[in-house]
Amino acid sequence: MRKLFALVQRELLAYFSSPLAYVVLTAFLFINGYVFYLIVAFLNDPRTQAMAPLKLLFGGTIFFWLFLLFVVPVITMRLLAEERRTGTLEVLLTSPVSEGQVVAGKFIAAFVFYLFLWLPTWVYVWILAGHAKIDFGPVWAGYLGIALLGLLFLSVGTLTSALVRNQIIAAILAFAVLVVVFSIGLVENIATGAALKGALGYMNLWDHMDDFAKGIVDTRHIVYSLSLTGFFLFLATKALEASKGR
Amino acid sequence: MIEVEGLTKRFVDKDVVANVSFFVPEGEVLGFLGPNGAGKTTTMRMITGFLPPTSGSVKVAGLDVSRDSLAVRARIGYLPENVALYPEMRVEEYLRFRAAVEGVGRAEMRARVDEAAERCMIAEVRRQVIGTLSKGYRQRVGLAGALIHRPPVLILDEPTVGLDPRQIVKIRELIIELGREHTVILSTHILPEVEQVCRRVLIIDDGKLVADGTPEQLRGGFSGAAQLAVQLEAPEGEARAALEALSGSSGVKSEGNGHFRIAVEAGSDLRREVFKLAVAKGWMLLELAQTTPSLEDVFLRLTTHDAAAEAEAPVAEVANA
Ligand SMILES: Nc1ncnc2c1ncn2[C@@H]1O[C@H](COP(=O)(O)OP(=O)(O)OP(=O)(O)O)[C@@H](O)[C@H]1O
Ligand SMILES: [Mg+2]
């Protein structure tokens, strides 16, 4: 446990001592702020029907998804690829920590950083709370959805970073896989046949996020995200084991 | 302490390490010699478990490296060839991280970090960011990281590379000292280092073990163990015949002007005989010097391939390309 803690701590130190973290953080705040502004302006338009602005912020717009698809690979690309490239992986994998612990340490640190990115969005909640009564149920559910989505996406990035030694390639691979993971559920809308439609619906992340933002916490959504996360992390561990000494 | 049995590593279609076996008892400092690309690093990586062998086995303290990987890793301190560190960390942070990962408890942490920093002479850069350290200091930080948990086995791949002469001496002293409590395997290209530091030497060439023994054994155990340089004021032909006739001489080369070079068989010492011969014949003895082959001679003899093979190599490469 202390070993895992040391791994997470080192990784977080690496995050916050690299300029990349601040670039991502700034871009994230900027785009989120812009989207928030657009949503509020849109809702202020008398022609639109009443909608919860936070619901739109959490997955209701394409910005949310575009940003996640881009940012998560950037967060994860460094994790294992960099250690492999510089050779520090040799030290790590000859220390008495298992490959699983290494993957877990990296993943947890990436998740902490991801949550840190979302922290400032509480400002919007605070702003809205100043103007209207807010139902905190959907807000919490929305953040839960964001966390689950983060786990799933970050696990994909961790896997691709374990596979290659070039960060950029790791990021591009992660992006490609994430696009598939994200869009497979969207096929639901054009699918025919009830069984296929049902299966794809189960995997439709947009709908999942929509439900969470409405305050619906569906255990099937949670199970789907967590089991995929576990699967990708398992693959990452196996990839790390298989790639030893390369 | 370390048992290596039939160790083989195949990359693509070449056995980079071919059927290497040796045993290192506890408390021995073993030197690993060999030309570039001989397979030293590959062998060390297999001992640490970083590289899985194609065949063969490695046991450390009775534990199999592939089966009890974590237990073995806990017993080994490893300094890889290209010392890789985290450039954004401070030296002290790095050492604490290494200690935590190696399983050093919170209570001992401080003492271990202090001890390692002091032993590797990096106390003055403890607060410095690793990325700003000079090469020699980085090497020493890597070494400190390898011995922070006082592992019973130390594997050091070229530990003195990049150090200044004073530091080389100090690190050698440190390794000798470490050899009292630890089992050490180190690789190096500096032959005098081996003689100073190592009780035993392995020479590996093209993946195969070609010599195994103490430095003295290696120097003494090969043909023409010693040479005698002699200068006599004497008729050349007669002197040469007389020197050749001495028992224990395995060849005499005349170098002109009364200079002779006598190859002496291993275990013989001809200096007295040569002196007596000169006295008996009434020749003036101007020079009598015995030279034993250096480890360098042994190394070169064992790892130099005949000229024909060397000349063929580039041709083969062109043909492959
Ligand atoms: N991952 C790899 N894939 C293919 N060949 C490799 C790999 N790693 C090492 N080799 C080859 O194995 C051989 C032995 O390499 P190794 O690094 O063990 O040599 P070395 O004895 O440590 O040499 P040096 O003195 O230069 O450090 C070399 O020919 C090298 O090219
Ligand atoms: Mg090497």
Q: Are strands B14-24 and B2-11 parallel, antiparallel or unpaired?
A: antiparallel
Give the whole-angstrom CA distance, residue A58 versus residue A65.
9
Label residue A32 by pLDDT band (50, 70, 90): confident
Q: Which residues pair with A165 in a beta bridge?
A: none
- Looking at residue A37, its pLDDT comes to 82
Dist. CA A75–CA A22, nearest whole Å: 11
Taking each continuous run of H as one helix and of E as one strand, the counts in chain A are 13, 0
Paired with B29 in beta bridges are B184
- pLDDT at residue B312 in the model: 39
Nearest-CB residue to B74 (from A5, A6, A96): A96
| Nearby residues of A192 by Cβ (< 8 Å), 6 or more positions away | none
B306 SS3 class:
coil
Residue range A66-78: mean pLDDT, rounded = 90
pLDDT at residue B153, as a whole number: 95
In this prediction, residue A51 has a pLDDT band, given cuts at 50, 70 and 90, of low
For A84-101, what is each residue's pLDDT tens digit?
Answer: 999 999 999 999 999 999
Residue B309, pLDDT score: 44
Per-residue pLDDT at A57: 67
B189 closest CA partner among B231, B159, B225 = B159
Could you tell me where the DSSP H helices lie in chain B?
Answer: 40-48, 69-75, 91-101, 106-119, 135-146, 165-181, 191-197, 215-220, 236-245, 271-281, 295-303, 307-320
Q: How many Å apart are CA A61 and CA B202, to the nearest integer?
A: 67
Compute the half-sphere exposure of residue A15: CA atoms within 13 Å on the CB side of its CA. Answer: 25
Give the residue among A201, A162, A204, A163 at the shortest CA–CA distance from A181.
A204
Out of A2, A7, A244, the one facing B51 most closely (by C-beta) is A244
Q: Which residue has the tokens 């298992």?
A: A98
| Separation of alpha carbons A2 and A96, rounded Å | 12
Q: Which three-class secondary structure state does DSSP give residue B34?
A: coil
Chain A residue at shortest CA distance from B86: A88
Whether the CB-CB separation of B291 and B227 falls below 8 Å is answered with: yes
User: What's the pLDDT tens digit per position in A150-181?
Assistant: 999 999 999 999 999 899 999 999 999 999 98
With bands split at pLDDT 50, 70 and 90, how would you rate the model's confidence at A20? Answer: confident
B188 lines ligand 1 (CB under 6 A): no
Report d(CA A39, CA A29) in Å as an integer.
15
Q: Are A41 and A142 in contact (CB under 8 A)?
A: no
Kindly state if the Cβ of B37 falls inside 6 Å of ligand 1: yes
CA distance A196 to chain B (A): 44
CA of B141 to the centre of ligand 1 (A): 24
Q: What is the DSSP string of B145-214?
A: HHTTT--SEEEEESTTTT--HHHHHHHHHHHHHHHHHSEEEEE-S-HHHHHHH-SEEEEEETTEEEEEE-
Count the residues in chain A: 246
Q: Which residue numbers in chain B have pLDDT < 50?
A: 223-224, 307-321
Token pair 């690093």 is found at B41
What ligand has the least distance to the C-alpha of B37?
1
Note the pLDDT tens digit of each residue in A230-246.
999 999 999 999 887 65
Check residue B161 and give its pLDDT. Answer: 87
Nearest to B159 by CA among B126, B128, B193, B133: B193
Looking at the CA of residue B35, tell me the nearest atom of ligand 1. Answer: 25
Please tell me the residue having the least CA distance from ligand 1 atom 18: B39
Mean pLDDT of A49-75: 75
Question: What pLDDT, on a 0 to 100 scale, did the predictor assign at position B311?
Answer: 41
**Span A216-229, mean pLDDT?**
88
Among the partner-chain residues B50, B82, B100, the one whose CB lies closest to the CB of A94 is B50
The answer on pLDDT for A50 being more than 60 is no
Print the domain residue range for A6. 2-245
What's the sign of the alpha-carbon dihedral B170, B172, B177, B178?
positive
Chain B positions in Cβ-Cβ contact with residue A245 (cut-off 8 Å): 45, 50-52
Q: What is the ipTM of this complex?
A: 0.87
Question: What pLDDT, on the 0 to 100 scale, is given for residue B314?
Answer: 37
Mutate to test the interface with B, among A3, A5, A22, A94 (most CBs of B within 10 A): A94
The reply to whether residue B88 touches residue A93, judged by beta carbons under 8 angstroms, is: no
Look at chain A and report how many structural domains it folds into.
1
Cβ atoms B32, B84 nearer than 8 A: no
Are B144 and B117 contacting, i.e. CB atoms less than 8 angstroms apart?
A: yes
Rg for chain A (alpha carbons), in Å? 19
